[in-house]
Amino acid sequence: MNLATLRLVHYYAGVFFAPTIIFFALSGVFQVFKLHESYRETPGAQGGPIAWMSQVHKEAALIPPKAAPAKAPPPRAERSSPFKWFAALMGISLIGASLAGLWIAFNYPKRRQSFFATLLAGFVVPIVLLQFAAAG
C-alpha cells in the first residue's frame, strides 16, 4: 500500500467513524462522573438522553434504561479522583480531535460530495445496526 492510498483510507475511515467516535467519547465522559445514573434518583423515571447514551455505550443496543425501584437508596458520594478528570479530558480531547479532523476533511474541495456521503453513512450505519440489535 503506497502513501497516497493510505491517506485516502485514513480520510474516509476518519470521516465515516467520526460521528461514532464523538458519541462514544461524549457518553464516556458522562459515565466517568456517573451522570448516566442520576435518573435513578427519581422513582419510576426512565432516564434522559444521558442515560440512553450510556445504555447504547454499555450494551451496544437500543435498550431503555431500567427504572429504579420506588425506594432506591440515595447514591453514595464519591470523590472525584485525578484519573477521572484525566479520562474526561481525554474524552473531550478525542471529541475535539475528531471535529478538527472533520473540518480538515471538509476543506478538500474535490472530495466535498464524497465527504458528505461518507459522513451521512457514518450516522446512518450505526443507527441501522442498533435497530437490528434491538430487533434481535
Q: Is residue 54's pLDDT more than 90?
A: no
Local confidence band at 136 (pLDDT 50, 70, 90 cut-offs)? low
The residue ranking higher by pLDDT, 71 or 105, is 105
**DSSP classification of residue 37:** G
**Helix 3-32 × helix 49-59 angle, to 10°:** 120
pLDDT digits (tens, 9 = 90+) for 87-113: 999 999 999 999 999 999 999 999 999
What local confidence, expressed as pLDDT, does residue 55 receive? 77
How many Cα atoms sit within 13 Å of 93 on the Cβ side? 6
Per-residue pLDDT at 133: 74
